[in-house]
Amino acid sequence: MFNFFRSVKTQDALSVKPKHIAIIMDGNGRWAKKRLMPRISGHRKGLESVKTVITQCQKLNIPFLTLFAFSTENWLRPSQEVKFLMSLFQDSIKKESSALIKNNIRFKLIGDRKPFPKKLNDKINSLEKLTEKNTGLTLSIAINYGGRWDIVNAVNEYRKQNHFKKTFTQKNLIQKLSLNFAPDPDLLIRTGGEKRISNFLIWQFSYTELYFTEKLWPDFNEKAFMAALFEFQKRERRYGKTSEQL
């Protein structure tokens, strides 16, 4: 997946840049269907857009990128497609570990790993360990992830350690969420025309700017990515304050 990396210089093309971008990569199946191709062809093609956004984040010195690859609900899809997606992910980890290290990218996986086979979990853990000291882009891939699962899991993790002897606070919850190593996303991009967050990062999206595009994920190129960032620049982020207070 990541063998496209090249050395890139920080560019200041934008006056205001998000520190953390989250993307719901929607439309692979519809892209393939429009071309009378099997859905898995859309997933393969979608990897090119993954390459594009990672490269652009590196160029623009955006430190965090989180991609929604497979939700807790996606297990309901045809078994052949689910099997292919898991295989595609496993192959990418195997092939691209060295490229991630070379390009100073830290890899993280967020989601429930329990259903994964031991071999896949071992590869995930190994890649996270190999890249944990990298200081460039933090690339988080959400696999078997759901926002509701994340919140319930965080509460249960806190409960195991504290048995609710202490008052439970927002800070306690945030410390146990899957994405506790990153700031909340500044910008969510969703491709494919749907206008919902689909159980993705429910807690973290409280003040995230939402950007929806009709483009299907395999068609999401550099121009489309920059259009989202230029739209982000226009947003006034008040966090409850008035415009005059900013």
Kindly list the catalytic residues: 26, 74
Mind giving me the DSSP string for 123-141? HHHHHHHHHTT--S-EEEE
Return the structure tokens found at 115: 């259903």
Q: Which residues of 2-35 are buried (b: 16+ CB within 10 A; e: fewer)?
A: beebeeeeeeeeeeebbebbbbbbbbbbbbbeee
Query: Helix (H, G, I), strand (E, B), or coil: what is residue 33?
Result: helix
Report the distance separating Cα 52 and Cα 221, nearest Å.
6
Q: Which residues pair with 21 in a beta bridge?
A: 65, 187
Query: Helix (H, G, I), strand (E, B), or coil: what is residue 49?
Result: helix
Report the distance separating Cα 185 and Cα 183, nearest Å.
6
Q: Which residues of 113-144 are buried (b: 16+ CB within 10 A; e: fewer)?
A: eeebeeebeebbeebeeebeebeebbbbbbbb
Which DSSP category does 102 fall into?
Answer: H
Q: Which among 141, 174, 168, 173 has a CA at the least distance from the CA of 71?
A: 141
Q: Decide: 176 and 153 in contact? Cβ < 8 Å.
A: yes
